[in-house]
Amino acid sequence: MSSSNYKPLQVKKFAKKAISDTPENKYWKKFKVESSKTYVNAINKVYSGGNDSELIAFTEGRIVYVYNSKKEEIKQQIERFQDKVTGICFRKEGKMMATAEANGKIKIWEVSKKTLLREFNAHKKAVNAMDFIGGESYMYSGSDDYQIKLYDIASNEVVRTYVNAHSDYVRSIVSVPNSDRNVISGGYDGFANLFDFRDKSKKPIRQFNHGVSIEDTTIIPSGFSFATVGGTSVNIWDLRTGNAIETLNHNLKTITCAKFISNGDRLITSSIDQSMKIYRTDTYQITHQFKFPSPVLSFDMTQNTKCFAVGMADGVLEIRSNQKKLGEQVDSDEEKDDKEDLGLQIPDFLKYNEAAQRRVHNFQYFSRGMYDKPTQYDVKYEEKRIKKISKYDKLLKKFQYKTAMMHALENRQNDVVIGLYEELIQRGEIINAFKNLDDSQLSIVFEFIAKKIANPKFQDVAIHMLNLMFEQYTYESGKYLESMVDILDEEILTQKLLLQLNGQIDTIVNTSIVE
């Protein structure tokens, strides 16, 4: 068969995955599980707060644990509490920590020695929100008694109290960066309130309506915008104008926690739908998503973005770590990908010529003349390009169907296997392509079937191939079938459930049409 008459094999093309393997995805995928431990009670609070010591604290019932991310170990375990611990926070340098209990007590600790420095009994109900003002000795607290208080830890006194800061439980509070007087609180009344603690009226100077109960509030390090989370939505607010910048609705169940990390260029949220989502703050598009085995109640990440901890409803605390920071990893990967895309590989004969290397690394050097238009007297020379024929096409031209099929299977060219299989069915040569296979070739064929039979894209071909193997290799197929029984049973159960679901949907649709 001449090359001019031969029509190349039409390789099967499938839709690409929705989320591509971007440098950002590669970075987040490199976070490996460093520790995963199950405790008796749910892990309600996880807090790092960007402290300089890279510590992460988490609560479990009446116990507080302090984890040192640098040494990868639990640094302290504090158990001196009368009631369930409901709140926790660090001061900026990480040497002082505040804890709050369900009975309203707030305790101030020196982390290194577990020394109790101060104790406040100013609230009547559980305190769920606290925040230090930078590295100072002042701290805010918000409680289920609807009150917000400002403490001077050095003088051991309450400086200011807002009696009715919210009309429902106060669940989050965050101080505004670069300001020692402004604080934002979020409550179950659906509002985020901005207070100025020098204002004698004790009323919020600005209100932000989230619409549903607010679970958490986080502010960008610049202090110009902040986020509120509650229900299934995330609202991004402009602190200066009071307007909503963006509303995100990517969760199926209640969002429990949110944090701006690094310099505020990423926003992370967690939810009881068992997911943790990462957003870019320039586009507010999801760049990556983690999935966990149970509802996520709280999480936080260290200041260097190398470690984060996740607390779950079933008592599991999972700690993951990466060797590099967010900026380092993404930038280096992007540069590497850009060089690969542009084909900037320096040939051997240019490696010792610095002037030539400078030209080679310049994109304009490669694209020169690309957009120049021919003049009236220019002669256009058509370059004759020889069409390259793939190996499986060469084998098809020689009618070596078995060799072509085994070549595609051995090299795991799934799209070629599907296209080749369908082509051989049309030619009526599919049986000849699988004749007289030895044990090693049979194992390759059955390995492909086992991996692809549950994949809808390859399912039709995999089932057809399996039937063909049973017909031609009845005796030999027995030992391979044993390893596929679980896969086939699971796929049959899935198909049955899908049929039941399809019937239920049809019933609902038909009922709605009648109504």
Read out DSSP for 40-74?
Answer: SS----EE-TT-TT-EEEEEETTEEEEEETTTTEE
Residue 510 clears pLDDT 50, i.e. is over it:
yes
Q: Which two tokens stand for residue 304?
A: 């260097």
> 3-class DSSP state for residue 489?
helix
Q: What is the pLDDT of residue 57?
A: 95
Give me 67's structure tokens.
């984890």
Q: Compute the distance between CA of residue 194 and CA of residue 148 in angstroms, rounded to an integer.
A: 12
- Confidence grade of residue 96 (pLDDT, cut at 50, 70, 90): very high
Q: Which of 105, 37, 99 is nearest to 73 (CA)?
A: 37
| Structural tokens at position 384 | 């004759």
pLDDT single digits (tens) 259-292: 999 888 899 999 999 999 999 998 899 999 999 9
> Is the pLDDT assigned to residue 48 strictly greater than 50?
yes
Q: What is the pLDDT of residue 337?
A: 45
If pLDDT is split at 50, 70 and 90, which confidence band does 165 have? very high
pLDDT averaged over every residue in the chain: 85
Q: How far apart are CA 13 and CA 84, in angstroms?
A: 57
The crossing angle, in degrees rounded to 10, of helices 459-472 and 439-452 is 150
* pLDDT, tens digit, 9 for 90 and up, residues 107-131: 999 999 999 999 999 999 999 999 9
Residue 510 CB contacts under 8 Å (≥ 6 apart), including other chains: none
Pick the CATH number of 24-323 from 2.130.10.10, 2.30.40.10, 3.40.980.10, 3.40.50.300: 2.130.10.10
Measured distance CA(193)–CA(368) in Å, rounded: 58
Q: Name 85's bridge partners.
A: 101
Q: Indicate the pLDDT class of residue 354, thresholds 50, 70 and 90.
A: low
pLDDT at 343: 41
Q: How far apart are CA 60 and CA 44, in angstroms?
A: 7
CB 500 within 8 A of CB 506: no
Helix (H) or strand (E) holding 301: strand 296-301
Nearest Cα residue to 50 out of 229, 219, 288: 219
pLDDT at residue 36 in the model:
93
- Please check whether residue 446 is in contact with residue 484, taking contact to mean a CB–CB distance below 8 angstroms: yes
**Other CB atoms within 10 Å distance of the CB of residue 478:** 10
Return the ∠ at Cα 325 (arms to 321 and 326), rounded to 5°.
100
For the chain, the domains span: 24-323, 333-367, 391-483
Helices (runs of H) and strands (runs of E) counted in the chain: 12, 28
Q: Using the CB atoms, write b or e for 264-301: b if 16+ within 10 Å.
A: bbbbbbbbbbbbbbbbebeebeebbebebeebbbbbbb
List all residues 6 or more positions away from 423 whose beta carbon is below 8 Å from its beta carbon.
Answer: 9, 10, 396
Biggest distance spanned by C-alpha atoms of the chain: 96
Q: What stretch of H or E contains 97?
A: strand 96-101
pLDDT above 70 as % of the chain: 87
Q: Is a pLDDT exceeding 60 seen at residue 338? A: no
At residue 511, the pLDDT reads 80
